[in-house]
Amino acid sequence: MAFEQDRTQTHAGWSQDHTEIYDLVFRSRGKSFEAEADDIAAHVRARHPGATTLLDVASGTGSHLVRYAQLFEHVEGVELAPAMRVVAQRKLPGVAVHAGDMRDFDLGRTFDAVVCLGNSVACMASTAELDTAIARMAAHVAPGGVLIVEPGWFPEQFLDGYVGGHLVREPGRVISRVTHSTREGLATRVEIRFTVATSEGGIKEWTDYFYMNLFTREEYTAAFEKAGCAVEFLDIPWRLGTDPHNAPGLFAGVRK
């Protein structure tokens, strides 16, 4: 499959099968969506103590959003992938999870905080798209509000040929997840292969692909500044219990 076709698939989200086991696999690896949401809320309120509203861009299956809804008076989500929106809406029947692309969404209102996690912004195909996505998110931040973005790997941190693996066992089901990451120019191609065996359905196998650009720290910083945000990089191991070969930290911007 051509690079741009694969990148379109990345924008559209994981396969239906992947989406249905997404939370289970990450939680079994030690990821706590709740602890991460608590951490994000703390970073928001350190910069905007009175923050009461939050927008989660690329909200995925809504697991962070469930916790945000307990921490803020009003929350909403934006998600491009239909399968993930279905899962999120199932968890959050009273919360708006909008269909939208971070490059052009417009909700017609602002929030005290806008958050984008999961390396999603690194799926932009160029620095121009990165600038556009950050600008769109910043446009939804009220003056004095906070924009927090999790980047992808920086070029000097990416490990070409990196492989990972994980096995989930539960009654009647075993899930194997194996990954292989390679560099293609200024981008990364992550191949994720699943084997799922169930007592009733037998064995199913499939492969998903995830593409990210290796934007530099300076390119992220420039995108925030162009969008009218004073920005700092939080060089912290905030992703609890997950593979250390993940994103290097967080960018936190305050809209001027």
Pick the CATH number of 157-212 from 3.40.1550.10, 3.20.20.370, 2.20.130.10, 3.40.50.300: 2.20.130.10
The two tokens of residue 80 are: 């491009």
The pLDDT of 104-108, averaged and rounded, is 98
Distance (Å, whole) CA 144 – CA 142: 6
**Mean pLDDT, all residues of the chain:** 91
Q: What is residue 239's predicted lDDT score, i.e. its pLDDT?
A: 58
How many C-beta atoms surround the C-beta of residue 143 within 10 A? 9
Burial class (CB in 10 A: 0-12, 13-18, 19+), 170: exposed
pTM of the model: 0.91
Q: Could you state, in order of their start, the residue ranges of all structural domains in the chain?
A: 3-155+215-255, 157-212
**Nearest C-alpha neighbor of 59 from the set 27, 35, 91:** 91
Distance (Å, whole) CA 92 – CA 104: 24
Distances (CA, A) of 78 to 27, 56, 107: 22, 6, 9
Residue 28, Cα to own-chain centre: how many angstroms? 18
How many C-beta atoms surround the C-beta of residue 3 within 10 A? 13
Q: Are 194 and 174 in contact (CB under 8 A)?
A: no
Q: Are 247 and 120 in contact (CB under 8 A)?
A: no
The pLDDT of 178-197, averaged and rounded, is 94
Which segments of the chain does DSSP mark as H helices, in order?
A: 3-12, 16-28, 33-47, 63-71, 82-91, 127-138, 217-226
Q: What is residue 4's predicted lDDT score, i.e. its pLDDT?
A: 44
Q: What pLDDT, in 10s, does the model give residues 51-96?
A: 999 999 999 999 999 999 999 999 999 999 999 999 999 999 999 9
Q: Is it the case that residue 36 has pLDDT exceeding 50?
A: yes
Superfamily of domain 3-155+215-255: Vaccinia Virus protein VP39 (3.40.50.150)
Residue whose token pair is 């909200």: 59
User: pLDDT tier at 1 (50, 70, 90 boundaries)?
Assistant: very low
Cα radius of gyration rounded to whole Å, the chain: 18
**Percent of the chain residues past pLDDT 90, beyond the cut:** 82
